[in-house]
Structure 1
Amino acid sequence: MSTRDRTFLRPVRDDCAARLFCFPYSGLGASMYNRWPRRVADDGADIEVCLLQPPGRENRLREPHFGTYENLAEQVSDSLEPHLDRPYGLFGHCGGALAAFATAALIAGTGLPDPTCVFVSSQVAPHLGPYGRYLSMTESALTAELEGLTRVMGGEPQPDIIALGLRVMRTDLDANRAYRLDEPVVLPGDLRVIGWRDDHEIRPEQMTGWAAYAAPGRFHEVVLPGTHHEFLTAPTALRREFAAGLAHSGKA
């Protein structure tokens, strides 16, 4: 398999009406979406779920970390180019939302087809960050968080795997700390901001700054039931947001 192909955890298929490219959560790789369907077919949608694998983790562990979200956006956009032949969206949660936004912002200046919709979950707007308790945690606290997250995903923490995850988490958080815009950048497509009612990491009301990143009529916000990690199960309400964003672009 080529280096370029390794950007995707699995091959991108052609038998779909739209694609959703998903960035992983800080400290994790694309396999974190193992409970997501390979396809979103809610409300008549036909969306392939494409899992992006940044370097420096899982099957790309030996590759150097991307360093900054801007660098990751450049790498990802090169790999995305052959697959932008139909409507597509970018999704990210928490730190992954910043990676998704950075990629959309980069694509906007390249002449490539822009995302039909960017979906950001549980993250403050880039001109208001960096924000989050993870950014100031000690190593022991981050270790405990990774162990808890492993259990949330249905696994049992193994010391060697946690140690690897901690290394990835530290470098991912460095990228998060380094990413801040002086002022909002308006994206050309739709922007859907997804908050979670019982999320104690990023409260839905902390995400209102994203409104400045969308043109009139292209900003949509929703608060879904669940906690910070509810997205890991791909709940029906979230899948419906994907269907609405990719099927009804540009409609307020």
Structure 2
Amino acid sequence: MTSGSTGSTSPWFVRPPSADHAARIFCFPFSGAGASAFSAWPAVLDDIEVCPVQFPGRENRLAHPHYGTYENLAADLVPALVPLLDRPFAFFAHCAGALPAFETVVRLTDLGLPGPDCLFVSGQPAPHDASRDPMLTMSEPELRAEVESFIRSRGIEPRPDMIDLGLAVLLRDHAAAGAYRRAEPVAVRCPVVVLHWRDDPGVSLDDLAAWRRYSDAVDIRVVDGGHYDFMDAPEELLKLLTSWR
């Protein structure tokens, strides 16, 4: 194995993926967020490199055109992934980020490319149930309040311009979520590990059960914490994320 970086930095990744580790886990953020959602995570877990994915239209890609739909996002991401599929890999995706992650798995399969060894989905109902998300019925003022509440939950006193920027990103992501439709489940070849956060009032175990229709190997696990606690890299979560190796 060649030591060092795999080459020039793609805009899809906040740092150049390394060739020094045995496996990779690609991490998909939730609506309104970017790769910084994983900034508290270690860069490597038991020789698995953590590779946060940076969607266009936010953070250091704010000037890049928004992806528009999850299918477009998957189609645009795959070419950036192809050089990095030379070793075992998994996907981790939180909340609505699980939907483009799933679409990326489907696209890799359709193109005859290697798929992940495991798909981890966190706090998100199955794709064919995505249109039932209560957040899709929220008004712009309600979404603004969500942005402000989230920023405060991270220990930051939000400035108006911070809220405006966060809302602008969320509204575009929200439109993509509202446009997403997958009428019937499509099975993937990899195991799917579904994470339910014990203190998450917005997503129940029953909401997650339909993921069992997406793979012959689905494991639904309950982990301690609330909806956004994955950002703090709790030890229980990190142990699960190395269980596929």
TM-score (norm 1): 0.91
- Native 8 Å contact 1:89 1:115 kept in 2: yes
Per the alignment, in what secondary structure is the counterpart of residue 51 of structure 2?
strand
The offset of 1:176, in angstroms, is 1.0
After TM superposition, the structure 1 stretch with the greater mean CA deviation from structure 2, 139-148 or 46-55, is 139-148
Q: Note the alpha carbon deviations across 1:115-152, whole angstroms, 9 max, x for none.
A: 11111111111112213222111222211211121122
Counterpart-to-counterpart distance in 2, 1:94 and 1:74: 20
Per the alignment, in what secondary structure is the counterpart of residue 7 of structure 1?
coil
Counterpart-to-counterpart distance in 2, 1:3 and 1:126: 34
Per the alignment, in what secondary structure is the counterpart of residue 90 of structure 2?
strand
The offset of 1:3, in angstroms, is 10
Per the alignment, in what secondary structure is the counterpart of residue 5 of structure 1?
coil
The offset of 1:190, in angstroms, is 1.2
* 1:241 alignment partner in structure 2: 240
Which protein, 1 or 2, shows the higher relative CO under an 8 Å CA cutoff with sep ≥ 6?
Answer: 1
Per the alignment, in what secondary structure is the counterpart of residue 20 of structure 1?
strand
* 1:250 alignment partner in structure 2: none
* 1:207 alignment partner in structure 2: 208
Counterpart-to-counterpart distance in 1, 2:124 and 2:186: 16
The offset of 1:197, in angstroms, is 1.0
- Native 8 Å contact 1:90 1:100 kept in 2: yes
Equivalent position amino acid for 2:226 in 1: T
Per the alignment, in what secondary structure is the counterpart of residue 194 of structure 1?
strand
**Residue of structure 2 aligned with 1:32, choices 34, 37, 41:** 37
Counterpart-to-counterpart distance in 2, 1:117 and 1:185: 16
Counterpart-to-counterpart distance in 2, 1:131 and 1:156: 32
- Native 8 Å contact 2:148 2:163 kept in 1: yes
* 1:48 alignment partner in structure 2: 49
Structure 1 unaligned regions, length at least 5: 248-252
The offset of 1:29, in angstroms, is 1.2
Counterpart-to-counterpart distance in 2, 1:149 and 1:174: 19
Counterpart-to-counterpart distance in 1, 2:154 and 2:77: 25
Counterpart-to-counterpart distance in 2, 1:102 and 1:155: 33
The offset of 1:155, in angstroms, is 2.6
- Native 8 Å contact 1:70 1:102 kept in 2: yes
Counterpart-to-counterpart distance in 1, 2:29 and 2:152: 17
Per the alignment, in what secondary structure is the counterpart of residue 131 of structure 2?
coil
Q: Note the alpha carbon deviations across 1:8-39, whole angstroms, 9 max, x for none.
A: 01111111111111111111111121211111
Counterpart-to-counterpart distance in 2, 1:181 and 1:4: 33
- Native 8 Å contact 1:122 1:204 kept in 2: no
Counterpart-to-counterpart distance in 2, 1:29 and 1:131: 24
Q: Note the alpha carbon deviations across 1:32-63, whole angstroms, 9 max, x for none.
A: 2121111112xxxx211101111111111111
**Residue of structure 1 aligned with 2:14, choices 9, 21, 32:** 9
Q: Note the alpha carbon deviations across 1:168-224, whole angstroms, 9 max, x for none.
A: 101111111121212111101111111111111111221000001002xx2111011
Q: 1:39 to 1:152 in 2, by over 3 A?
A: farther
Structure 1 consecutive aligned stretches of length 4 or more whose deviation exceeds 4 Å: none
What are the residue-to-residue correspondences of 1:1-252 with 2, within 5 Å? 5-41=10-46, 46-215=47-216, 218-245=217-244, 247=245
Per the alignment, in what secondary structure is the counterpart of residue 101 of structure 1?
helix
Equivalent position amino acid for 1:60 in 2: R
Q: Identity rate of aligned residues, in percent?
A: 45
- Native 8 Å contact 2:128 2:181 kept in 1: yes
The offset of 1:154, in angstroms, is 3.4
* Residues paired across the two proteins, number: 239
TM-score (norm 2): 0.93
Counterpart-to-counterpart distance in 2, 1:110 and 1:202: 33
